[in-house]
Amino acid sequence: MSHDSSMLVIHFFLVYLCHFSWCLYDRTNLIAGVKIAANDDILVSASNAFSNFAVAIHPFRNAALNRSTHCNIRYGTNDQFVHSVAVIGNEKNSSTLDIVKFVFTAEKMSTMTPYVCIISISKSTCKSTLECNDVYTHGFPQEYFLIGVDRSEKYAYGFTSSFVFKLNIQTNEIVLNRMANDTWPSLHFIPRALDIADSWAVIVGYGYENSIEKDYNDLGCLIDLSELTKLSCLLLNAETTYIVPSDVVTFNELYEMSVSIRNQTILVGIHRFESVVVLEKNNTSLSIVNTHTVHFSHSSSFGRGVAWIDNRTFAVLTRTTTLQTCGSQSMIFIYDGALVTSTSALHTFPNNQQILGSRLSNPHFVRMTITPKGNMVVLTDHADILMIPTAPIGYTSVWIDTSALIYRFRYVPMPCIGGTYKNHSGIGPCRICPPRTQNPGISVKQESICVPCSNSFCPLGASADIDSSIVPSYNQAVDYPETDDTTDIEDILLQNVFYIGSEFRCMIISPLLWTLIVGILCSIIGLAMCLLKRDRYHGWRSYRNCAKLIFKHTDIIGEGELWVGGLATFAIVVLVAFSYWFSAAFIQRYPIERISESVLFACNPSLMNAKFSSSLQLLALPKSIDSQAIFNLLNQQKFQLTLELVNTGFMCRNIKAQENFVDSNFIHLSIECTRPASNATTSVSFQLPTHSSNVQINMSGPHWIGGFRLCIRGDGVVDGSSTLRSLDFCQFFSALNQTIGRKTLVSITFTKNINITRGLNPEDSTLYTGLWIPTFGSVKLTDDAYYAEFGNYLRYTSSLTIIQIVLDERPFFVKNVQEPIVRRAELIFHALLFTSLCIELFAFVFLLTKLLLMPFLRLIQNRWRQCYYRQKRSSTVDMSSSTSTQVTQTSRVVDSFEGSTAF
């Protein structure tokens, strides 16, 4: 007796202790049991921590039409631990009835009495009535106490590892209440999840047949609901992985399972094996149709939850550590049932359009339900509830930021953003427009389709019809000229003076031609003078002598001795004059920057007095004081970066810029941003901190970029003889038919380009011109290959786009030197040399005449004379006197010519 009473005291003490410390009942645990249930009429979530049922009536109804009603129903007692809830939707007459109902299973903590209750709520007043029934008890706490309602909503069914029951909802009567070993004969079974069809249910859990070995297995059992008897059980996983019995008997999230029935097909999620098992019901038995085992790197919980969306597609809840970009540790993958692999997901939740607000602080999802109409409800580990209604065609349900202190977040259908479309209703995001089509996303009517583009630049996800010629690339880099073959002034003079081109323009400026013309004229005059010497033209002799005198005075070949030399001098004067004109004009053709018109004086129109050399030189080498200035100017030039995002939905508010430091530290840069309403182009510009910065432009939001143009500009400065040219170049980047990748690295290397122009005269200073010339590294523009390998759904998972620009400078510079071929003094000297050369040339011709031509002529004359006399002798002697005078005359002509060539 005393023993008994002391036991009683201890028992009460324990109960008392547990009652207040909740040692047996973890009131904060949301994962065990089913703490949330929903259909299209009612959403219920139970919170043991707050002793409250949160009820939303018509949770997915369009807010604009009839707002959903929210009711909080207090437990009314602290001595209640709710295990599971199930909703009783009265879809058929939901709008006429004012009452909605749900059921829950609970335990009286003080006595560990399990019971089941029906709560009826008035939609208009939130008034609730509670009807409860105790069920069979052993007097120990239940680990899992599941409840479900059949499709006809007549009965609710409860399952634990020790008992099962059937409750008539209308009459609030427990019609069946039996030991678990009656339902599962010769089988110890711990139910973990259930789903109920019309007359049958599938319950998954752990069980063993041999009570000595106690080898637990993953089992799926088909239950006949009329008598609550097992029809058949099926081993879900052939792997005989050792299951720790204590983990199965008590709550352990690793051993959670989930089940979802659609028509005759049943999905079972076993995240311990990263698998979803597809079962087919066949009268009284289940059979495995398929086992989808999907492994994502760094995630090991594929199948944490499963739910059918419609009779083809289903959702799989997976906990992940890699895809955290959407602010969640969990992902819901939506699959077409025909193909379930790690890359074949149709889309995910969350995604770049359906984000989780930062208020949810990176949760993971513990339970997911999809209502018959396809609306989704998600419970997070922070007890927040996400309600994602199915959105009509052209819409997607998006997160609406709210400042209210709520725990229920209702996504709201919004029209698809620019560049996307949605041609079916559902919970998913809008899809990206295919190449060569576009959707501006401004007219609400059109978001279901993308319209074909007419212009050239229309990649994937285009939101405008843009002509890419509006954003051209250009560059200031030019080829430095090369020096012509001839850089010797004498060669140039000779080439140009003794040249008659074939073109008319060349001919009329050809010195040689004019010299020849003058020479011919002079020859005619010379011939005339010779003829005038004849006795027959006696009257002209005075004129001839006068001309001879004049010509003797102009003679510079024979130093005033020969009148023929005087005539030749005219030709020399013409030749020399032309060469002086050429020289005078040629020397002006320097530097090439100052030459605008082409040459008049030479046949080659690009002839110039400049020679060029180009080399690379190390920046580290010491520089002269003169040249230092241009290096300073180049180093001080401020770069302004402008990034034009073409065909994008990113607005100015989405864009931020930062400068990166080592250790992933960064500072923000202030930007100027414009977005004209007319075209889908956003332009960001900011000053680059240094010439070797690493800057990053972050664009957040569910948008894409079709292409971008990167421009860097800098102002020019003139400082004495050093001129810094203004920098202006732009480069357009785009990938054919693709969007720009989520992370793009553009590396630009700058090279100093310095033109050194030496002075034409010794007193002129050397001019320096400097310009930065960029070169681009190869840029990986698209993530297409990544999506092709790891799944196209990844296109929609990230809502951050980064363009990183790394600037650097080459350790050498390009040194271009321009020098005149000839300077003034040198040219004068060469002109004089040339003059004397011309005179010498003519003198040489005279000399040749004297030495070669004259003896030859004389020979001919002698021969002719001999011949003549021989003839004469044979003919009459009378005629000899007159002939001899003629011969004397001829010999005199030769003599006089001979005299004029004497030097």
Ligand X SMILES: *[C@@H]1O[C@H](CO)[C@@H](O)[C@H](O)[C@H]1NC(C)=O
Report the site for ligand X in 262-281 (rule: CB under 6 A).
Answer: 263-264, 280
- Report helix, strand or coil for 113: strand
Phi, psi of 40 (to 5 degrees): -75, -10
- Considering the rule CB under 6 A, would residue 26 count as an interface residue with ligand X? no
Which is nearer to ligand X, 578 or 813 (by Cβ)?
A: 813
- Report helix, strand or coil for 690: coil
- Considering the rule CB under 6 A, would residue 676 count as an interface residue with ligand X? yes
Q: CB 736 → ligand X: shortest distance, Å?
A: 5
Task: Tell me 354's DSSP state.
Answer: S
Which is nearer to ligand X, 66 or 690 (by Cβ)?
A: 66
Phi, psi of 464 (to 5 degrees): -155, 160
Select the span of 176-184, 217-225, 297-305, 534-542 touching ligand X (CB under 6 A): 176-184
- Considering the rule CB under 6 A, would residue 243 count as an interface residue with ligand X? no
Is residue 230 within 8 Å of residue 204, measured between CB atoms? no
CA-based end-to-end distance of the chain: 166
- Considering the rule CB under 6 A, would residue 755 count as an interface residue with ligand X? yes
Q: Which residues contact 606 (CB under 8 A, 6 or more apart)?
A: 598, 599
- Considering the rule CB under 6 A, would residue 646 count as an interface residue with ligand X? yes
Q: CB 282 → ligand X: shortest distance, Å?
A: 3
- Report helix, strand or coil for 64: coil
- Considering the rule CB under 6 A, would residue 211 count as an interface residue with ligand X? no
Report the site for ligand X in 786-805 (rule: CB under 6 A).
Answer: none
Chosen residue from 78, 129, 181, 775 binding ligand X by CB under 6 A: 181
Rounded to 10 degrees, the C-alpha dihedral 59/60/63/64 comes to -140
Cα–Cα distances (Å) from 78 to 25, 109, 397, 816, in that order, read: 12, 9, 38, 90
Q: CB 264 → ligand X: shortest distance, Å?
A: 5
Which is nearer to ligand X, 617 or 875 (by Cβ)?
A: 617
Task: Tell me 784's DSSP state.
Answer: H
Select the span of 477-485, 502-510, 792-800, 844-852 touching ligand X (CB under 6 A): 477-485
Site string for ligand X, 433-452 (x = CB under 6 A): --xx----------------
Q: CB 344 → ligand X: shortest distance, Å?
A: 18
Q: CB 643 → ligand X: shortest distance, Å?
A: 13
Is residue 790 within 8 Å of residue 772, measured between CB atoms? no
Query: Structure tokens of 709?
Result: 């143009």
Site string for ligand X, 604-643 (x = CB under 6 A): ----------------------------------------
Select the span of 353-361, 476-484, 617-625, 684-692 touching ligand X (CB under 6 A): 476-484
Which is nearer to ligand X, 438 or 755 (by Cβ)?
A: 755
- Considering the rule CB under 6 A, would residue 179 count as an interface residue with ligand X? yes
Q: What is the C-alpha separation between 375 and 426, in angstroms, rounded?
A: 8
Q: What is the C-alpha separation between 779 and 898, in angstroms, rounded?
A: 85
Longest Cα–Cα distance in the chain? 199
Residue type, 425: S
Chosen residue from 212, 662, 736, 877 binding ligand X by CB under 6 A: 736
- Considering the rule CB under 6 A, would residue 210 count as an interface residue with ligand X? no
Q: CB 252 → ligand X: shortest distance, Å?
A: 25
Is residue 426 within 8 Å of residue 390, measured between CB atoms? yes
Q: Nearest to residue 381, comparing CAs of 107, 86, 52, 35? A: 35
Residue type, 664: S
Chosen residue from 91, 227, 593, 715 binding ligand X by CB under 6 A: 593
Q: Nearest to residue 353, comparing CAs of 254, 449, 422, 276? A: 422
Phi, psi of 336 (to 5 degrees): -85, 130
Q: CB 433 → ligand X: shortest distance, Å?
A: 11
Select the span of 207-215, 269-277, 405-413, 671-679 touching ligand X (CB under 6 A): 671-679
Could you give the count of Cα atoms lying within 13 Å of 343 in the half-sphere of its Cβ? Answer: 8
Q: CB 214 → ligand X: shortest distance, Å?
A: 16
Report the site for ligand X in 807-826 (rule: CB under 6 A).
Answer: 816
Site string for ligand X, 305-324 (x = CB under 6 A): ------x-------------
Q: What is the C-alpha separation between 21 and 14, in angstroms, rounded?
A: 10
Sign of CA dihedral 804, 808, 814, 815: positive
Which is nearer to ligand X, 279 or 567 (by Cβ)?
A: 279
Vertex 236, ends 311 and 213: CA angle to 5°?
160
Q: Residues binding ligand X: what is the number (CB under 6 A)? A: 37
- Considering the rule CB under 6 A, would residue 56 count as an interface residue with ligand X? no
Report the site for ligand X in 341-400 (rule: CB under 6 A).
Answer: none
Phi, psi of 68 (to 5 degrees): -75, 150
- Considering the rule CB under 6 A, would residue 287 count as an interface residue with ligand X? yes
- Considering the rule CB under 6 A, would residue 541 count as an interface residue with ligand X? no
Q: What is the C-alpha separation between 623 and 707, in angstroms, rounded?
A: 42
- Report helix, strand or coil for 325: coil
Q: CB 317 → ligand X: shortest distance, Å?
A: 23
Q: What is the C-alpha separation between 57 and 38, in angstroms, rounded?
A: 10
Select the span of 177-185, 349-357, 781-789, 825-833 touching ligand X (CB under 6 A): 177-185
Site string for ligand X, 58-77 (x = CB under 6 A): -------xx-----------
Vertex 682, ends 680 and 685: CA angle to 5°?
165
Q: CB 767 → ligand X: shortest distance, Å?
A: 10
Binding region for ligand X (CB under 6 A):
65-66, 179, 181-182, 185, 263-264, 280, 282-283, 287, 311, 435-436, 466, 470-471, 478, 480-481, 592-593, 646, 676, 678-679, 681, 725, 736-737, 753, 755, 769-771, 816
